[in-house]
Structure 1
Amino acid sequence: MLVAVSDLHVSHPENRRAVEALCAGHCEDWLILGGDVADDLTDFEWVIRLVAARFYRVIWVPGNHELWCTPKEPMALPGEMRYRQLIEICHQYGVLTPEDDYPVYTAENGQSFLIAPIFTLYDYSFRHPSDFTPEQGLERARRAGAVCSDAFFLKTYPYPDIRSWCTERVQYTEARLNAVSGQLPMIFINHFPMLQVLTQSVQPQEFSIWCGTQQVASWLSRYPVCLVVYGHLHMHGSTVLEGIPHVEVSLGYPKDRHGRDASGMLTVLDTLLM
């Protein structure tokens, strides 16, 4: 069985308890871990070690929170170096990342799928109005009091800014997808939604500039994508667009769940692959 969850945010005690309870009885299942696991390396490694021991295979993509450099970690490495640290931790426990060969998952009906973990970040192109420049979009967000904490904690070294890093990641990922396109139906995993329309319910709407990039929208028609798994928005649910299910799998902060039982935090994806 293929299951997914993102946005564990285990610095919240309630979420940490939920994660501790989530893993029983999954030794034959594949887990997609869609980013925002934790804000610091200690908590991140705790989660990775736990899920790696209890699932048959784990596939992780980074969110924005894993990339933070906060006062809790005064010696934290910035940007790309931080990302490479996270990769090293995952590899220590056998967890697959966006830097590894794409694995093939075979569903119970015998159909095989190529799972593509993606790391592309954002570039302020999810703007409203769309004719705003990135700078105008950022200023609009500041005036609305909707500045993402990334502005303070997410460092982009060695890239001059987040847009440059995003563009590099898009180009890198596109080359990898081109190399395998057409082999099998594909499952995309990205922390961020891959279409701006999926951010329409984000409030305040000005925050959507931190939610993805327009550069990847064409991938959904260029490649044989049958399912997209994402998080970030803390809006658990599924939307079908142009025949492709886009499944938001966030656990989210305790306040986001509105009474939803955290014990049902894993989203089963096999039924969407039939």
Structure 2
Amino acid sequence: MADPLVAVADATADAAHSPEDSPTAPPPPATPGKPGTLWAISDIHLSFKANRGEFEKLLPRPNDGLILCGDIGESAEHLHEAFKKATACFRQVFWAPGNHELYTLPTQKEHGARGEKKYEECVEIARQYGVLTPEDDYVLWEGEGGPCLVAPIFTLYDYSFRPAHVKLQDAVDWAREENIEATDEHLLHPDPYSSRVEWCEALLARTEHRLAAAVAANPGVKTILVGHWPLREDLVKLMLVPRFCIWCGTKKTEDWHNKYNAKVVVSGHLHVRRTDWRDDTRFEEVSLGYPRQWQECKDRGMDVNDLLREILPGPVKPPPEERGITKWRRYG
């Protein structure tokens, strides 16, 4: 299954980002004494002109924070554009990478960074704007619904979201039987690791170490786990392309919401906005997606501000008998 984004992204990926566009304005001033709200959105895919125009409609929320949960775009230009706008509107911005940020596009084949180096380039851009990444210390969000420790994480996937009868070495061929193949197989390189599975294993070990240390250092404080890929296989429901599931996470994070004291787990990747509860943890999928996937909202007079998802304080916890029911969300 070809990804329609890639051709568009490839045409613009090498566009230069001029020094004049670097951040110069400070974040908007906060109102003293007013508790902030923590919002999230992912998969804004700035390769699409419609999505770029939409993201520019973000309104200032100087007391609030914003989580950008991966798939901003494929180029440095996309990251600069998103971080510049987000930090101009929000007091604090968090980012976790998606697969698209990690792509090395065909136009960059000879000179572009690959794998871990590409990720490091993204982190460096984020730091130019004061955006917090999985490489930074987790910070305590003390706004409304807090205090909570906000933890951006980078986990990748290991093809384990597959039926028991499908062997790891057969997983991609199993997806191809239904004409499904992620663009990652061609553009997301694992360098210096031998495979994406090996890179995923290294990321999981490092992330678990950091999360365990953070929870131990903050006894009783809930966390907000912020990553692009879903942490649980049972939250991956892709009706039109079910075998795409193998590129959607790893079974090794199944219990992280309990293990690391999560109040909320925030993810994207699926382009299907939904809210779920597992145990006492709320799971939020917060994708914007491709233009056709939010066109209905636009037709109803909504814009990107209506598509931000409130993470904290968030909705009221439903009664126990309703927590197993997925709430499908058309907007925020």
State if a TM-score over 0.5 links the two structures.
Answer: yes
Distance in 1 separating the partners of 2:164 and 2:237: 13
Distance in 2 separating the partners of 1:60 and 1:202: 28
- Counterpart of 2:247 in structure 1: which amino acid? W
1:267 to 309, 312, 325: 309
SS at match of 1:158: coil
SS at match of 1:29: strand
**Percent of residue pairs bearing the same amino acid type:** 36
Partner of 1:140: 174
CA contact (8 A) 2:166 2:174 kept: no
Tell me: CA distance 1:131–1:142, structure 2 relative to 1, closer, same or farther (3 Å): same
- Tell me the CA shift for residue 71 of structure 1: 2.1
Distance in 1 separating the partners of 2:79 and 2:295: 25
CA contact (8 A) 2:66 2:90 kept: yes
- Tell me the CA shift for residue 199 of structure 1: 0.8
C-alpha deviations, 1:156-190, integer Å up to 9, x for none?
Answer: 10000000000000000000011111511011001
Partner of 1:44: 79
- Counterpart of 2:79 in structure 1: which amino acid? F
Report how many aligned residue pairs link the two structures. 271
Partner of 2:245: 208
C-alpha deviations, 1:54-105, integer Å up to 9, x for none?
Answer: 2101000000000001124342100000000001001111100000000100
Partner of 1:172: 206
Partner of 1:25: 60
Between 1 and 2, higher relative CO (CA 8 Å, sep ≥ 6) is seen in: 1
- Tell me the CA shift for residue 218 of structure 1: 2.1
Superposed CA RMSD:
1.5
- Tell me the CA shift for residue 265 of structure 1: 1.9
SS at match of 1:272: coil
Distance in 2 separating the partners of 1:146 and 1:190: 24
Does residue 226 of structure 1 match 2:268?
A: no
Distance in 2 separating the partners of 1:147 and 1:213: 18
- Tell me the CA shift for residue 219 of structure 1: 1.4
Q: How does 1:84-103 map to 2 (within 5 A)?
A: 84-103=120-139
Partner of 1:59: 94
CA contact (8 A) 2:79 2:126 kept: no
C-alpha deviations, 1:136-160, integer Å up to 9, x for none?
Answer: 2211101111100000110110000
- Counterpart of 1:32 in structure 2: which amino acid? I
Q: Which range is displaced more, 153-162 or 235-244?
A: 235-244
SS at match of 1:259: helix
CA contact (8 A) 1:10 1:38 kept: yes
Distance in 1 separating the partners of 2:239 and 2:39: 25
- Tell me the CA shift for residue 257 of structure 1: 2.3
Distance in 2 separating the partners of 1:245 and 1:84: 30
Does residue 195 of structure 1 match 2:246?
A: no
Which stretches in structure 2 are left out of the alignment for 5+ residues? 1-36, 317-332
- Tell me the CA shift for residue 258 of structure 1: 5.0
Which stretches in structure 1 are left out of the alignment for 5+ residues? none
Distance in 2 separating the partners of 1:108 and 1:139: 47
CA contact (8 A) 1:226 1:273 kept: no
Distance in 2 separating the partners of 1:52 and 1:177: 26
Partner of 1:251: 288
C-alpha deviations, 1:193-246, integer Å up to 9, x for none?
Answer: 100011133532111000001111121221211100000000012111222111
TM-score (norm 1): 0.95
Q: Which range is displaced more, 9-18 or 193-202?
A: 193-202
CA contact (8 A) 2:144 2:313 kept: no
- Tell me the CA shift for residue 273 of structure 1: 7.3
TM-score (norm 2): 0.79
Partner of 1:126: 161
Distance in 2 separating the partners of 1:239 and 1:181: 23
Distance in 2 separating the partners of 1:227 and 1:157: 32
Does residue 239 of structure 1 match 2:276?
A: yes
SS at match of 2:151: strand
Partner of 2:183: 149
C-alpha deviations, 1:31-61, integer Å up to 9, x for none?
Answer: 0000000111112222112212221010000
